[in-house]
Amino acid sequence: MNLIVTMIAPSQGGSGDYLVEIRREFTDFYPIHPVSPKTSFEALNKVLIEAQKIILRLFLYLIIPFIRPNKLFVYHPQTMGYWLTSLLIKKSSTIYYCIIDASIFCIKSYNFRRNKVCTHCIERIDPYTDCNFFPRKNNLRAFRNHRKTLNSNTDKIKFIVQTEGYKKIIKKIFGPSTSCSVIKMKFPSIRKIYPSNKEKKYDFIFHGNKIEAKGSKYVLELSKRLSNFSFFIPYHLNTEQKNLFTKSINWRSGLDKEISKSKIVLCPSIWSASVEGAILKSMRLKVPVAIHVNLFSASNTLIPKNCFIPLSGDLIKDIEILETIVKNNELLAVTSEAAFKWVNQYINV
């Protein structure tokens, strides 16, 4: 028996989008994961997803004593819970362990602290007192036990990462002989995105959710200091700023259209981001992308430097860069064209 186990539901966005691609490549694996509800009510969909997760976790705990998977594909273990994931690993003969964030060493999943990349727990798990588990509450003892389980079972684990940076992290944690493959972060929905020559309405658009690790606070501060430029944020926000436009929207409900109306897409994640789908999609739309260059991130180890606008995370320096570039249509066109060619090569279009 081969199993894909995760508490992420296949969907058209983020980690759920990538799970769709995994399902296509690992066809001989039986999937155990929630199913995306199809109601038109977002709040109800979230409740239905959470209910499925509770039932699936209970089901897995009940069947673990009676199963011994030949192959196990682990995806987003923090959503399953570290005790449960460790039990499944111990019972399986071969494990494919897919890493799409920093949860292999960081309890927050996004390794940042005080607006900077944090690598404090790579070699030894000793989180700061102000660090909390994300996206769901877990147990530090279970997290440490999970790391020990991985250490004692490396001979049967095949780690899967998206960048050479994360491969270095795996080798540093588990040793140079650890099996670790770098595979492309392919999204089936990216191939359906095409450039659109819309009239520019905004100078800058933020691609992410209201998550600090993805740069939400950074963008708000940027919008206040660059008051002569227009900003769009894809979630509702009570604000009196005349240069800031907000609307709850995502890739399924028209975010691509707003990005096409923008001069620059801001992707200022302040963690060691692997390959972010929003960056690839924005590049497919031929809109220049501004990215923080962080340690171990895709912007530091994968994406060519001529394909994006590099940011440092220092607001004063970044303001100077963005103020200059947003007015340079020629440079914006050259950057977006280089990114478009690279992303098409990356996703094999």
C-alpha distance from residue 54 to each of 28, 34, 35, 80, 101 (Å): 25, 10, 13, 10, 23
Ramachandran area for residue 114 (φ above 0: left; ψ -120 to 50: alpha; else beta): left
- Given this model, what pLDDT does residue 330 score? 96
Out of 1.20.1440, 3.40.50, 3.20.20, 3.30.450, select the CATH number for domain 2-183. 3.40.50
Cα 261 from chain centre? 24
- Given this model, what pLDDT does residue 291 score? 96
Q: Do domains 2-183 and 191-346 have the same CATH topology?
A: yes
Phi, psi of 4 (to 5 degrees): -105, 120
DSSP 247: -
Residues 277, 282, 287: CA angle, nearest 5 degrees: 165
The length of the chain is 349
pLDDT tens series, the chain, 349 aa: 999 999 998 875 678 888 888 888 888 999 999 998 888 887 898 899 999 999 999 999 999 999 999 999 999 999 999 999 999 999 999 999 999 999 999 999 999 999 899 999 998 999 999 999 999 889 999 999 999 999 999 999 999 999 999 999 999 999 999 999 998 877 767 878 888 888 899 999 998 889 999 999 999 999 999 999 999 999 999 888 999 999 999 888 889 999 999 999 999 999 999 888 889 999 999 999 999 999 999 999 899 999 999 999 899 999 999 999 999 999 999 999 999 999 999 988 5
SS3 state of residue 4? strand
Task: Report the sign of the C-alpha dihedral through residues 7, 189, 309, 259, in that order.
Answer: negative
- Given this model, what pLDDT does residue 12 score? 56
Euclidean distance between CA atoms 215 and 212, whole angstroms: 5
Average pLDDT, the chain: 93
Find out whether 107 and 213 touch, Cβ atoms under 8 Å: no
- CATH (residue range 191-346): 3.40.50.2000
- Given this model, what pLDDT does residue 196 score? 84
- Pairing assessment for the beta strands 262-267 and 202-206 based on DSSP bridges: parallel
Hey, where are the domains in the chain?
2-183, 191-346
Task: Report the sign of the C-alpha dihedral through residues 24, 25, 29, 33, in that order.
Answer: negative
Alpha-carbon dihedral of residues 279, 281, 282, 286, nearest 10 degrees?
A: 130
Question: What is the C-alpha R_g of the chain?
Answer: 21
